């Protein structure tokens, strides 16, 4: 089986003797750089882990992206380095300050201080038919958030979702949590691939899906 190709604008570069994913842009979280390239740390990024593990994200580069749970911009800054317009939703004010800083050198990165459970609050800003929704909210009701934001996706768009089992229920077996999330997601999405991200993020599932 051939590995899915990386999106244009994401390359493997040598940093301190090891080959790592990288994008081209201003550093954001103290990551090592090699000229214009900065390392993308899969231990700090679920999407980075999905790419590192060879999941077929469908990303080609240049996409319009809605990113839910942007926090201080670690991952979404890499996304904005290779994607097109990137709308970054985060509801906590503290990390959003760092997110605004990451956006200063990225004209295509649009931070939105909103609640991803209330898509109507940013529907007037986010353009219709985005190519990709990336979601990493690590909060209870992760499938519900993905379903509520499906309205933004183009028919052939992709949901790239990270599910944190412990955010749903700390006491349950993660596999049982993931089964429930898969079943709920099926209300609005066709699941194309899922994979445990434990090599990088304990008890997390990476999911690639498209709207039904």
**Pairing between strand 86-89 and 109-112?**
parallel
Q: Binding of ligand SAM at residue 142 (CB under 6 A)?
A: no
Which residue number, 153 or 197, has a Cβ lying nearer to ligand SAM? 197
Which residue number, 57 or 75, has a Cβ lying nearer to ligand SAM? 75
Q: Binding of ligand SAM at residue 90 (CB under 6 A)?
A: yes
Candidates 74, 130, 194, 204: give the one binding ligand SAM (CB under 6 A).
74
C-beta of residue 43 within 8 angstroms of C-beta of residue 116 = no
Torsion 27-28-30-32 (CA) sign = negative
Q: Binding of ligand SAM at residue 159 (CB under 6 A)?
A: no
Query: Where does the chain have alpha helices with state H?
Result: 46-52, 74-82, 93-104, 142-148, 165-168, 174-185
What does the per-residue mask of binding to ligand SAM show for 30-69, with x meaning CB under 6 A? ---------------x-----------------------x
Contacts for 160 with CB less than 8 Å, ≥ 6 apart: 47, 50, 57, 59, 132, 133, 134, 135, 206, 207, 208
Q: Binding of ligand SAM at residue 137 (CB under 6 A)?
A: yes
90 appears as a binding residue in the annotation = yes
Per-residue DSSP letter, 138: -
Which residue number, 64 or 74, has a Cβ lying nearer to ligand SAM? 74
Shortest Cβ distance from residue 112 to ligand SAM (Å)?
Answer: 9
């Amino acid at each position: 089986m051939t590995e899915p190709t990386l999106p244009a604008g994401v390359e493997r570069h040598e940093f301190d003797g090891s080959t790592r994913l990288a994008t081209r842009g201003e550093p954001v979280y103290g990551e090592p750089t090699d000229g214009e390239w900065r390392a993308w740390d899969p231990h700090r990024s679920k999407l980075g882990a999905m790419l590192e593990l060879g999941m077929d994200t469908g990303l080609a580069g240049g996409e319009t992206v809605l990113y839910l749970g942007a926090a201080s911009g670690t991952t979404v800054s890499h996304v904005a380095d290779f994607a097109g317009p990137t709308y970054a939703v985060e509801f906590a004010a503290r990390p959003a300050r760092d997110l605004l800083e990451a956006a200063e050198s990225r004209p295509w990165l649009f931070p939105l201080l909103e609640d991803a459970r209330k898509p109507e609050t940013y529907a007037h800003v986010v353009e219709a038919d985005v190519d990709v929704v990336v979601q990493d909210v690590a909060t209870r009701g992760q499938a519900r958030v993905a379903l509520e934001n499906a309205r933004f996706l183009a028919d052939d768009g992709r949901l790239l979702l990270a599910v944190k089992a412990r955010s749903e229920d700390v006491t349950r077996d993660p596999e049982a949590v993931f089964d429930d999330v898969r079943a709920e997601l099926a209300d609005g999405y066709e699941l194309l691939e899922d994979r445990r991200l434990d090599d990088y993020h304990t008890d997390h599932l990476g999911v690639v899906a498209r709207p039904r």
